[in-house]
């Protein structure tokens, strides 16, 4: 049964992917609600549970009891931040959609400013740009620095430095994103590349309110590989160049080998052969690996498997059980 208070087109949708955020969720709701109530627009909050193993869903459903605007969309399993965001963007019904993390590192108070800016300046995208991330760990800041440096080179200079996934988008932008066939979209890169009229709101990145980061190194690496392959075939070209360099080196070795033979200096020749074989082998493996990355992606795209499956959406139906799986 569809609950009757469901809004069909609220002005604002706030989309939040959550993975094992039981500790943060109360803080998040307590701070978000007064901000949204103060905006004077109709809104929904789409909390996408990305297959949490803790009591996140149960707690969200409890909180929903006295905040019906809090909508819970539960995914069947953990699909990662970007795909969870994709699920949220598909579910969101608002004219404007804000994506924000659940750990309060992005201040909900900035949402008002974003909406105001989008409306008065007629913008389709308003990026939240981190002016200061001194609260992030040195490791996070440095890896992020390298990431944004590289991505600016791949995507172009219009990629805002330090714009993460805290941003406001209009319905047109979200419809466009939802229609993209990408299997592993990296929204922070795709959105700027679409070329919609955009503005920025700067904010200071706060410390995670509770719990630990849900982005271990493995997920960071996945995001980086997705980011590069989303935007560039450059690594494939690197493979070609590696091949060219290896070829030159081997050519040199051949010439010197022939010369040595000509001069009658019969070198044992083991070392040079050894190096040439190793070098060529290594280059071939690198190139094969790179090809594999892209071929794998083509394969995944042709399979056209759903990126996520929704277990339930409280806008469609109240769940029978609230047990975490």
Shortest distance (Å) from residue 9 CB to ligand UDP: 25
* Cβ neighbours for 20, distance < 8 A, ≥ 6 positions apart: 52, 53, 54, 56, 211, 214
* Partner whose binding site includes residue 287, from Mg ion, ligand UDP, none (CB under 5 to 8 Å by kind): none
Shortest distance (Å) from residue 220 CB to Mg ion: 12
Angle (deg, nearest 10), helices 234-262 and 217-231: 90
Q: How far apart are CA 96 and CA 19, in angstroms?
A: 24
Tokens of 39: 């905006």
Tokens of 150: 């590289």
DSSP 307: S
99 binds Mg ion (CB under 5 A): no
Q: Which is nearer to ligand UDP, 71 or 214 (CB)?
A: 214
User: Is residue 42 classed exposed, middle or buried when 0-12, 13-18 and 19+ CB atoms within 10 A define those classes?
Assistant: middle
Beta strands in the chain (DSSP E): 12-18, 43-49, 70-75, 96-99, 125-132, 163-170, 198-204, 310-313
Q: Which is nearer to ligand UDP, 74 or 81 (CB)?
A: 81
3-class secondary-structure state, position 163 = strand
Which one of 103, 106, 226, 315 is in contact with Mg ion (CB under 5 A)? 103
Q: How far apart are CA 106 and CA 210, in angstroms?
A: 13
Q: Which is nearer to Mg ion, 50 or 101 (CB)?
A: 101
Which one of 20, 105, 170, 183 is in contact with Mg ion (CB under 5 A)? 105
Shortest distance (Å) from residue 137 CB to ligand UDP: 9
Place of tokens 């975490």: 324
What stretch of H or E contains 265?
A: none
Q: Which is nearer to Mg ion, 83 or 170 (CB)?
A: 83
Q: Where are the alpha helices (DSSP H) in the chain?
A: 22-37, 56-64, 81-91, 110-120, 138-155, 171-179, 187-194, 217-231, 234-262, 270-303
Shortest distance (Å) from residue 105 CB to Mg ion: 4
* Partner whose binding site includes residue 177, from ligand UDP, Mg ion, none (CB under 5 to 8 Å by kind): none
Shortest distance (Å) from residue 82 CB to ligand UDP: 8
Q: How far apart are CA 43 and CA 95, in angstroms?
A: 10
* Partner whose binding site includes residue 50, from Mg ion, ligand UDP, none (CB under 5 to 8 Å by kind): ligand UDP
Please identify, among the stretches 72-80, 95-103, 234-242, 286-294, the one whose residues bind Mg ion according to the rule CB under 5 A: 95-103
Torsion of CA 34, 35, 41, 47, to 10 degrees: -90
* Partner whose binding site includes residue 46, from Mg ion, ligand UDP, none (CB under 5 to 8 Å by kind): none
Shortest distance (Å) from residue 240 CB to ligand UDP: 34
Shortest distance (Å) from residue 164 CB to Mg ion: 9
Q: Which of residues 268-307 bind Mg ion (CB under 5 A)?
A: none
* Partner whose binding site includes residue 228, from ligand UDP, Mg ion, none (CB under 5 to 8 Å by kind): none
* Partner whose binding site includes residue 81, from Mg ion, ligand UDP, none (CB under 5 to 8 Å by kind): ligand UDP
Q: How far apart are CA 106 and CA 255, in angstroms?
A: 61
**What does the binding site for ligand UDP look like in residue numbers (CB under 6 A)?**
17-19, 21, 50, 78, 80-81, 84, 101-103, 105, 213-215
Shortest distance (Å) from residue 80 CB to ligand UDP: 5
Q: Which is nearer to Mg ion, 136 or 315 (CB)?
A: 136
Tokens of 320: 């029978």
Residues lying near Mg ion in the complex (CB under 5 A) are found at: 101, 103, 105
């Amino acid at each position: 049964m569809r609950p009757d208070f469901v809004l069909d087109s609220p002005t604002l949708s706030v989309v939040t992917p959550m993975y094992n955020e039981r500790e943060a969720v109360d803080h998040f709701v307590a701070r978000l609600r007064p901000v949204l109530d103060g905006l004077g627009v109709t809104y929904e909050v789409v909390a996408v549970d990305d297959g949490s193993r803790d009591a996140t869903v149960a707690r969200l459903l409890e909180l929903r009891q006295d905040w019906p605007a809090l909508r819970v969309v539960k995914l069947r399993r953990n699909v990662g931040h970007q795909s969870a965001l994709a699920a949220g963007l598909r579910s969101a019904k608002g004219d404007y959609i804000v994506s924000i993390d659940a750990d309060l590192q992005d201040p909900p108070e900035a949402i008002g400013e974003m909406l105001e800016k989008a409306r008065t300046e007629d913008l389709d995208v308003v990026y939240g740009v981190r002016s200061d991330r001194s609260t992030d760990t040195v490791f996070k800041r440095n890896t992020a620095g390298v990431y944004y440096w590289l991505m600016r080179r791949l995507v172009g200079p219009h990629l805002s430095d330090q714009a993460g996934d805290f941003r406001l988008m209009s319905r047109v932008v979200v419809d466009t994103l939802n229609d993209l066939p990408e299997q592993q979209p990296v929204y922070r890169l795709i959105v700027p590349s679409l070329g919609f009229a955009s503005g920025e709101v700067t904010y200071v990145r706060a410390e995670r309110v509770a719990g630990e980061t849900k982005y271990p190194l493995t997920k960071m690496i996945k995001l980086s590989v997705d980011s590069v392959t989303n935007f560039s075939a450059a690594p494939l070209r690197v493979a070609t160049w590696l091949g060219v360099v290896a070829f030159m080196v081997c050519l040199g070795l051949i010439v010197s080998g022939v010369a040595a033979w000509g001069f009658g200096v019969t070198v044992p020749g083991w070392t040079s052969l050894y190096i040439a074989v190793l070098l060529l082998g290594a280059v071939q493996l690198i190139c094969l690996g790179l090809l594999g990355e892209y071929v794998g992606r083509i394969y995944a795209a042709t399979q056209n498997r759903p990126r996520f499956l929704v277990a339930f959406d409280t806008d469609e139906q109240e769940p029978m059980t609230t047990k975490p799986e």
